[in-house]
Structure 1
Amino acid sequence: MDRVHHRWMFLGLAVCIVALLGCNGQPTLQTEYVEGLVTVDGEPVADATVTFVPVTEGQGASATGMTNAQGIYKLTAAVTGDVAATPEAGTLPGEYYVGVMKNVVDVPMSQEEAEQQGIEYVPPPPGVRQEPKITYVVPQKYNVPRKSGIRVTVEPGRNNIPLELTTD
Structure 2
Amino acid sequence: MKKYLALFAFAIVAFAGCGPAGPEMGDVTGMVTFKGKPLPTGTITFVPETDGQPSAFAEIQEDGTYVAKTRDFGDGVPVGKHRVMIIAVKDHGPEAPVEAILPLKYSSDRQSGLTADVSKGENIVNFSL
TM-score, scaled to structure 1: 0.65
Kindly name which structure, 1 or 2, has the bigger radius of gyration based on alpha carbons. 1
Which residue of 1 is the match for residue 32 of structure 2?
A: 38
TM-score normalised by L of structure 2: 0.82
Structure 2 unaligned spans of 5+: none
Q: Does 1:22 align with 2:17?
A: yes
Question: CA–CA distance in 2 between the matches of 1:154 and 1:161?
Answer: 9
- Pairing partner for 2:41 from 44, 47, 51: 47
Is 1:68 paired with 2:64? Answer: no
Cα distance, 1:7 vs structure 2: 5.7
Aligned match for 2:51, one of 46, 55, 58: 58
Q: Distance in 2 between matches of 1:63 and 1:108?
A: 29
Query: What's the counterpart of residue 124 of structure 2?
Result: 160
- Which residue pairs with 1:82 in the alignment? none
Question: Which secondary structure state, in structure 1, belongs to the residue aligned with residue 40 of structure 2?
Answer: coil
What residue identity is the alignment partner of 1:145?
D
SS of the aligned residue for 2:24 comes to coil
Q: Could you tell me which runs of 5 or more consecutive residues in structure 1 were left unpaired when the two chains were aligned.
A: 80-84, 110-131
Equivalent of 2:90 in 79, 104, 108: 104
**If each structure's strand is expressed as a fraction of its own residues, which one has the higher value?**
2
Contact in 2 for aligned 1:59/1:94 (Cα 8 Å): no
Aligned residues: 129
CA drift at 1:46: 2.7
User: For the aligned residues, what is the CA RMSD?
Assistant: 2.4
